[in-house]
Amino acid sequence: MAREKAKDPSELTVEEKLKNLYSLQTMLSKIDRIKTLRGELPLEVQDLEDEIAGLTTRIEKINNEVVELKREISERNNNIEVNKVNIARFKSQIEQVRNNREYDNLNKQIEYAELDNQLNEKKIAEAKTLVEEKTRSVTDYNMQVNDRRTDLDIKKSELEEIISETRAEEEKLREESKNLELTIEPRLLSAFKRIRKNSHNGLGIVYVQRDACGGCFNKIPPQRQLDIRMRKKIIVCEYCSRIMIDPELAGVRLDSPVAEKPKRRRSTRAKKAETEE
């Protein structure tokens, strides 16, 4: 027998559309519950990874600064050596001067070289102090990174364990929900997803409970409830904008309220007999 061709979603009746939509909501709610089982673990894992990345970047930046400081120290040491050579040469030349002008000029050059060495030595001392401080900072940050990586490994292990337990069920639900989406016309599916996204509990379609919307629990007028039971058009809650269906279509049996047994009225003759006694 030839396989029956699937109906075009736009050709389905309103009742069929609502039924498919509620089935999709049921599957998506199950997926949401699986995500809830994971709790805050995915966010905690992401936060730890971001923190480790930030610390690693900071360590790399500090190490580059240390390299630059060491280069500066090396250059200033070279300047000091050059100045020492120049000072020695100027002092040997000063003994052979022929006039005061040359003498004063050489003395100024010797003085400038000595001042430059003092400045270099001061800058070298400051740079060495900074190198020590930054090296200690790198050590502290490395310890933090190691601690965070230990925490990350634990969190990832916990998350992987939960995912492995629910992976098969989640993959099956996702596959079924994708197939079910093909039976819903795009415009209705898009509206449903938008409602779900704006809903705090992920419900885009709900059934009527105790004469109220099953999403926001606001009362629904009797005439509107009748329209919902008729299943002739898509009806949304005027308060929360969720799509509404009747419980029967959702496959839900609501408990009927137990009627209170009426009290037996006592006869006038019995009351009169009691009074006479």
Query: Is 0.95 topped by the overall pTM?
Result: no
Encode pLDDT of 117-166 as tens digits.
999 999 999 999 999 999 999 999 999 999 999 999 999 998 888 888 78
CATH number for position 117:
1.10.287
Give 268 or 250, the one with higher predicted confidence. 250
If asked whether residues 164 and 60 sit together in one domain, one would say yes
If asked whether residues 83 and 205 sit together in one domain, one would say no
Residue that terminates a domain, selected from 179, 214, 241: 179
Residue that terminates a domain, selected from 179, 199, 224: 179
Residues in the chain: 277
- Find the domain containing 232 and state its range: 185-250
Closest CA to 173 of 12, 23, 41: 23
Measure the CA–CA gap between 18 and 139, rounded to whole angstroms: 62
Measure the CA–CA gap between 239 and 218, rounded to whole angstroms: 7
Encode pLDDT of 169-227 as tens digits.
888 999 999 999 999 999 999 999 999 999 888 999 999 999 999 999 999 999 999 99
As a 3-state breakdown, the chain gives helix, strand, coil percent values, each rounded to 5, of 70, 5, 25
Using the Cα atoms of residue 11, residue 15, residue 18 and residue 20 in order, give the sign of their dihedral. negative
If asked whether residues 164 and 199 sit together in one domain, one would say no
Per the structure, how many domains does the chain have? 2
In the chain, beta strands by DSSP E: 205-207, 235-236, 243-245
Say what the pLDDT of residue 42 is: 87
If asked whether residues 79 and 201 sit together in one domain, one would say no
